[in-house]
Structure 1
Amino acid sequence: MTDYRSVNRAHWDERAPAHAASPDYDVDRLLADPTRLSEVVRFDRPRLGDLTGLRAVHLQCHIGTDTLSLHRLGARMTGLDFSPTALAEARRLADRADAAIDYVEADVYDAPTALEPGGFDLVYTGIGALGWLPDIRRWATVVAALLRPGGRLFLREGHPMLFTVEDPRPDGLVVLEHPYFERPEPTVFESTGTYVTTDRTFTHHATHEWNHGLGEVVTALLDAGFELTMLTEHDSAPWDALPGYTERAGPGEWRLADRSWRLPMTYTVQARLRD
């Protein structure tokens, strides 16, 4: 197999500065108001509960806007990502916000050695993270290794059904094209752009990605020692996942414009590590 980490890291290293400068991440507005939260965390807020004093780690934290938002909700935050360029942007954001956040450069599968095993009350994993990982069961064991007994996972992710859908078609049909279940080989995509508004051009176009069925995610967590405390599917996503098919569904969210009940766009899982 091609070294998927190197391919994907090159993709993210090139795009992180564009994301930090984009109006979609709205970094300047986040900095101007010390009570403001990212749109992703604002959506999560009703389900997150009280984070005051919790020691939390944000896996695959990218440029840190959600990490900063969790810090503002009272958590003692650590962010982990494999992209040094993304972490440079995250550290710059934390410094400008005068926020005490630790950032660690490591692949998510190496988190138990890069961080303190059993040292966290909360593992937070946000939108667009799991698809970069080839083995969901290994990911679940990483999360379990990081949490203290009784600690909690919070995951909101793109729904695996959404990730099966072919790019928008001129006939308007929603067609399933890509794998729903995890497969050993990645799906290789080529994209000259990115998911935010930017006029920058990129040279690293390839990504290697994997889908993980909802049952696979839940079963992996159960087998890693968790008990499920929440499973909610949402008809919206915090990015325009199917341009031309979607409409705004509240701040920072999009859903299918035509019969939105046909397709789940994201889901939230919460799970507690058994004592």
Structure 2
Amino acid sequence: MNIKTYTQSNREAWNEVNPIHQKHNPINLKEAFQAIGFSTLDEHITDTFRRLGLQGKRVAQLCCNNGRELLSLVNLGAQSGTGFDISDHVIEEAKELAETSGLPCTFVRTDVYDIDSTHINQYDLLYISIGALTWLPDLHKFFGIASTLLKKDGMLVIYEMHPLLNMLAMEDEPEFEDPLKIAFSYFKSDPWIANTGIDYVGNTTYESQTNYSFSHTLASIFNAVIQSGINITEYEEHPHDISCIYDHVEKEEKLPMSYTLIGKKS
């Protein structure tokens, strides 16, 4: 299948699940973002952005979901934010959050492979967070577009799940025997195909729109970033889980669970 077949199906799946996420979200984000300095970001990535500097920076986030992380960055001091996501429903929620909070954020409903040229060379910081890369069938095309959004010397920040976790079965999967037992190939090239829902907030299952996700090796991520014209300046692996689905593996304290990659546009 071509890219559009994958991304359009995923668009429908995310439109389907976001009302479920809203129902199970333990935080009233509309109220929370009216507080000065409120943030949904964890301590690690907050410290990372503060070290890089947020003041006066224009920030973009690709696959921004309902905008909570981008709004957090602006609430922590960024000049403005622009978020892009394929889901109509999450973008509507993000726009409502921006309006009620008064934070200078703009949200664009688009396939990230179709971001228009008005955004070229516009941003000082580009953020990609947990759960974004797995939905992307072509990393080289994605990072090629991402690189064009950055100004010269602009910074890319990725805070993602470690690809090693894609080798492990979830507790409710038939392949599961032990938290650390390898069940799948690290080099899996065909997509994961699912239709039991993507409710990682309430952990419910339902008969859902078929959705497609993809395993990417660290090498494929690094090469796609480098070949886009972004130089990797930092890479760090972490023992903590940011996916909300691998806490049973984190308890083993034996594998890298997440990573931070920072790059600079040459």
TM-score when normalising by structure 2? 0.88
Task: Give the counterpart of 1:134 among 134, 137, 140.
Answer: 137
User: What does the per-residue CA deviation read over 1:84-123, in whole Å, with 9 as the maximum and x for residues that have no partner?
Assistant: 1110011111111111211111111112x26421111111
Whether 1:109 aligns to 2:91 is no
The aligned residue for residue 190 of structure 1 is 195
Whether 1:54 aligns to 2:57 is yes
Which residues of 2 match residues 70-81 of structure 1 at below 5 A? 70-75=73-78, 76-81=80-85
**How far did residue 192 of structure 1 move?**
3.8
Aligned residue for 2:245, secondary structure, equals coil
Q: Partners of 1:46 and 1:6 in 2: how far apart?
A: 35
**How far did residue 52 of structure 1 move?**
0.9
**How far did residue 45 of structure 1 move?**
1.1
Task: Label 1:44 to 1:29 Cα distance change in 2 as closer, same or farther (>3 A).
Answer: farther
Task: Label 1:221 to 1:33 Cα distance change in 2 as closer, same or farther (>3 A).
Answer: same
In the alignment, structure 1 segments of 5+ residues that lack a partner are: 247-255
Q: Partners of 1:79 and 1:202 in 2: how far apart?
A: 28
Task: Label 1:220 to 1:170 Cα distance change in 2 as closer, same or farther (>3 A).
Answer: closer
Count of aligned residue pairs for this structure pair: 258
One-letter amino acid matched to 1:110: D
The aligned residue for residue 36 of structure 1 is 38
Contact 1:20-1:27 within 8 A present in 2 as well: no
Contact 2:197-2:206 within 8 A present in 1 as well: yes
One-letter amino acid matched to 1:74: G
Which residues of 2 match residues 1-275 of structure 1 at below 5 A? 1=1, 3-24=5-26, 27=29, 30-31=32-33, 33-40=35-42, 42-48=43-49, 49=51, 50-75=53-78, 76-111=80-115, 113=116, 115-168=118-171, 171-181=177-187, 183=189, 185-192=190-197, 194-197=199-202, 202-242=206-246, 245-246=248-249, 256-258=250-252, 260=253, 262-274=254-266
Contact 2:195-2:207 within 8 A present in 1 as well: no
**How far did residue 170 of structure 1 move?**
6.6
One-letter amino acid matched to 2:193: V
Q: Partners of 1:120 and 1:166 in 2: how far apart?
A: 38
Q: Partners of 1:107 and 1:115 in 2: how far apart?
A: 15
Q: Partners of 1:29 and 1:234 in 2: how far apart?
A: 32
* Percent of aligned pairs with the same amino acid: 27
Q: Partners of 2:8 and 2:118 in 1: how far apart?
A: 22
The aligned residue for residue 251 of structure 1 is none
Q: CA RMSD in A?
A: 2.2
In the alignment, structure 2 segments of 5+ residues that lack a partner are: none
User: What does the per-residue CA deviation read over 1:179-198, in whole Å, with 9 as the maximum and x for residues that have no partner?
Assistant: 42362x31212324511127
Q: Partners of 2:137 and 2:69 in 1: how far apart?
A: 24
Contact 1:22-1:198 within 8 A present in 2 as well: no
**How far did residue 266 of structure 1 move?**
1.0
User: What does the per-residue CA deviation read over 1:214-249, in whole Å, with 9 as the maximum and x for residues that have no partner?
Assistant: 121112111221211110111112243236x25xxx
